[in-house]
A = this chain, B = another copy of it.
Amino acid sequence: MPVNDTAPAISEEQLQEILSSHREWHNFARVLHQSPAIYQLEMERIWRQGWLFAGFEIELPKPGDFITLQMDNAPILVVRDDDGKVRAFHNVCRHRGTTLCRESSGNRRRIVCPYHQWTYGRNGELLHCHGMHKDLDKSELGLKALHTEVLEGMIFVSLADQPPPFDPARQLMTPFAKPLGLASNCKIAKVIDYEIDANWKLVFENNRECYHCNVGHPQYIKANYDIYEEGYISDSVRTQFEASVARSEKSWSEAGLNAAHSEGGLAHFPNPVNDIWYSANRTVLSDGFQTESMDGARVVAQLIGDYKDADVGVVRLRTMPNFWGHASCDHAVLTRLLPGGHKKTMARSYWLVHQDAVEGVDYHLDKLLPFWQLTAEQDWELCKRAQDGVDSPGYQPGPLSKDREYNVNALVMWYMLQMKKTTTDDKKSGVQECNGAAA
């Protein structure tokens, strides 16, 4: 029984009491958005249990290419090994704990600790530790490997000993992701990093409803039917929408693409009943929109992936707790969240285009970026204002709209489910300890 005084100053009993006191169709209790202790428990039960989107395979084209990321206090290294396999490790030397790679990306022949030059292979194996005594068993001192899965070029890692099965996510998401060519023929046109002064749940719940879009995202709502939940759609818009769905289902079916989300409003996600943390669907765009851009006009000359025709709507991908994104015919915009404290969330937005597209020729950033950059920045500002408000002793969880915030409710219920899981390894570090080479 390791002792850790940085562990939450809240008992399991207190936590369960907070969770039990939750009122149906209402927002999170105040304490859940502002307590460092709750945050610590969330790291244990959600962020160090589930699958986290880490980045793209195309960021690691060659053996030895790596990227780094920081999940709360955990530095993570993702590297392509000599056999071409993507691996992830704790970015921490097994000797005295020094972080190994500091750059956000690069290439290494060997992973050499800058402190005492312990040297690891690209598969995590400890190769050399010159200066150590002779009888040291190097085979036990490989880098600590993280479970890693690649889904159509998207890299997911888990800090859990036993992460949830990944295959169901792969089965559901692959048909939607595969045509996008994320694995094979994309490039990253732009990355923007944000530091949001809000708890990660406020950021994700913002993503789970379009109730705020009408005023909050004037550019966004022109492109899609997200704000037209049943009861909020006029007859004329409904007629347009239904015609679009009918037309697109027919043409997409002929093109071998999967079917559209055939209702207004957002698709239901996450699913707290069956504990489903992944989702994908395809939605129609508004009449006059070929892609998610300010005016609906194409912003990249080349179509992405396997697409032969621009009429593909928008593929939407999402996984709890840190990933979502939209892919139009000519570009995709995906977002990775990483918690950086109980009131701080790091967001990275990636813009992907066809690998042959040339900036300044085939696309221009001032056309490509604004649609989602505006949407993101409008959202982060709302999240910050929400954090300031829930910090108030005057805050009391309000009612959620059954019409327009069903997904916020779903998020709350999914969260409750995770936090109620009394994992047997709560007291463990949540770290898989194994020889990197064998992982």
Contacts and interface: CB of A to CB of B under 8 A. Distances in A.
A170 B173 CA distance: 69
A92 B392 contact: yes
Contacts of A8: 5
A133 B9 contact: no
B5 A94 contact: no
Contacts of A127: none
Interface residues of A, number: 77
Contact of A75 (B18, B116, B144, B392): B392
Interface string A113-132: 01111000000000000011
DSSP class of A's interface residues: helix, strand, loop or mixed? Answer: loop
A37 B5 contact: yes
Interface string A399-439: 10111100000000000000000000000011101000000
Contacts of A267: none
Interface stretch (A97-105, A242-250, A280-288, A328-336): A97-105
Interface of A: 1-6, 8-10, 14, 17-18, 21, 27, 30-31, 34-35, 37-38, 48, 73-75, 90-100, 102, 114-117, 131-133, 136, 141, 144, 159, 205, 211-212, 214-216, 232, 382, 385-386, 388-399, 401-404, 429-431, 433
A399 B117 contact: no
Contacts of A159: 393-394
Nearest to A73: B391
A96 B132 contact: no
